[in-house]
Amino acid sequence: MLDIKYLRDNFEQAQQRLATRGDEIDLAPLRQLDSRRRELLGEVEALKAEKNRVSALIGKTKDKSTVKDEISRMKEVSSRIKELDEDLRRVNDELQSFLMTIPNLPHPQCPPGGGEDDNVELRSWGELPQFDFEPKAHWDIGEALDILDFERGGKIAGARFTLYKGAGARLERALINFMLDLHTGEHKYVEMLPPFMVNRDTMTGTGQLPKFEHDLFHVEGMDYFLIPTAEVPVTNIHRDEILAAEQLPLYYTAYTPCFRKEAGSHGRDTRGLIRQHQFNKVELVKFVAPQDSDAELEKLLDNAEEVLRRLKLPYRVMDLCSGDIGFSAARTFDIEVWLPGQNVYREISSCSTFGDFQARRAAIRYRPVEGGKPELVHTLNGSGLAVGRTLLAILENYQQKDGSVVIPEVLRPYMGGMERITAT
RNA sequence: GGAGAGGUGGCCGAGUCGGCUGAAGGCGCUCGCCUGCUAAGCGAGUGUACGGGGAAACCUGUACCGAGGGUUCGAAUCCCUCCCUCUCCGCCA
């Protein structure tokens, strides 16, 4: 959520910055609602002040018969207050829901652009593997090794669900543990295991609601949603809290499954593990003081990249342009892993700073060292990494001519020493 | 699911037959004083949000005692609904 005071004073500028996202966002109604709100507020508060004053007077009067007129007058004032409060509530609700649908302002350093094609490649890492055979796609590799069963995943649940088997299931688990150990052990994140279902307030705090309800799985009969990412429960850990300055920065990491409807992506990535209704992810979340957020984003990105470096998977880093960043994000770096079976780079991590956008929605504040008023923290998060996509990247990059897949060295301790997955 | 207890400020904890309680008291914290260190002691201060005024310090109004309604001139205090926590029982990974 954007700051209404900022919007009040920097109307044109805000309008222009939002325009770089490419959506048509007209802020005009905001001005109207805002001034109407303040008008009503002044009126109703003056009446309440009078009511309070007179009521106190009545309270002090022993003989109530001498204040009959005041009592009947306050009766009218009270009902007038009720009307005005009702108007105010309506205007307020309208203002709030309008604010809730406005995306974040792109970061000043966010490259301008209309869409994917304008994203900027910052760097790439690793040698693309050379094969003396035609590299296969992971779905073929996984089925041939009998470690991924798309057929039965579909039977059990439906399209976009996969059954992992044997070494495939273990590899997924190994990746989760490897990532968590790296981030907690070397990058100093605190591990969290949050609920996988959350309430409406939590979904609103990080920006999924109210605008993106159609992407979420909702639990029938209870007002719970399945989380689309650990960002949601983990960022909301500190919702409605005022943190001490000394607590910052806070680094949290969490493994969770993620559930997404993928509405609107019908027919895209229908094969394989790329786009699933349920997938595993290890997430990195930070709460930082505003002046640190840019540097913290770089570090977070590096923490995510480190996973790929250790796994020796080639990747590149993209600086997403203003037209391609998400609703709540101010700036986003995507890490894209090389997939030789498909001859493309695919997103495997998305690292973003949200500035104070989520913090304002979720009321996550801290008290500055100098004391004084609480200020909003900045929140950041990134995948560290998407586990299913990491697994498929391993299958494609480490595939051998004989159909087997070599296990990256750092994962072998997590695989009981296994060095290679072969067809049984 | 059944029975009971409870939700007040950073924490603990008072709030009598509704009015003088933004909220006693204690702890904690901050600043100052004092004691050659430490402990103790003394004094002052110490919630949040949204308005209005002011360059600012600050002054001022309103709201908030789990949430939402109701009764009343007036509610933390009475009534209703919901949520959450705890205890016991049942069921259960």
Residue of A260, A331, A346, A361 with catalytic role: A260
- Look at residue A267 in the predicted model and tell me its pLDDT: 83
pTM of the model as a whole: 0.94
Distance in angstroms: CA A244, C1' B12: 21
- Look at residue A209 in the predicted model and tell me its pLDDT: 87
In the 240-259 segment of chain A, residues within 7 Å (Cβ) of strand B are: 242
- Look at residue A421 in the predicted model and tell me its pLDDT: 98
Exposure of A342 in the CB half-sphere (CA atoms within 13 A): 18
What CA–CA distance (Å, rounded) separates A348 from A304? 10
Preceding peptide of A385 cis, ω within 30°? yes
- Look at residue A132 in the predicted model and tell me its pLDDT: 96
Judge whether residue A369 contacts strand B, using its CB and a 7 Å cut-off. Answer: no
- Look at residue A344 in the predicted model and tell me its pLDDT: 96
Tokens of A5: 């005071």
- Look at residue A265 in the predicted model and tell me its pLDDT: 81
3-state secondary structure A126-179: CCCCCCCCCCCCHHHHHHHCCCEEHHHHHHHCCCCCCEECHHHHHHHHHHHHHH
Give the pLDDT of chain A (424 residues) as one tens digit per residue.
999 999 998 999 999 999 999 878 889 999 999 999 999 999 999 999 999 999 988 888 878 788 888 899 999 999 999 999 999 999 998 999 899 989 999 999 999 999 899 999 999 999 999 999 999 999 999 999 999 999 999 999 999 999 999 999 999 999 999 999 999 999 999 999 999 999 888 999 898 988 889 999 998 878 889 999 999 999 999 998 888 888 889 999 999 999 999 887 888 898 999 999 999 999 999 999 999 999 999 999 999 999 999 999 999 999 999 999 999 999 999 999 999 999 999 999 999 999 999 999 999 999 887 777 889 999 999 999 999 999 999 999 999 999 999 999 999 999 999 999 999 8
What are the percentages of helix, strand and coil residues in chain A, rounded to 5?
A: 45, 20, 35
ipTM of the complex: 0.88
Determine whether A328 is an active site residue: no
What CA–CA distance (Å, rounded) separates A397 from A152? 25
Minimum-distance nucleotide, CA of A86 to C1': B69
In the 15-44 segment of chain A, residues within 7 Å (Cβ) of strand B are: 38, 41-42
Residue A420: CB atoms within 10 A of its CB come to: 14
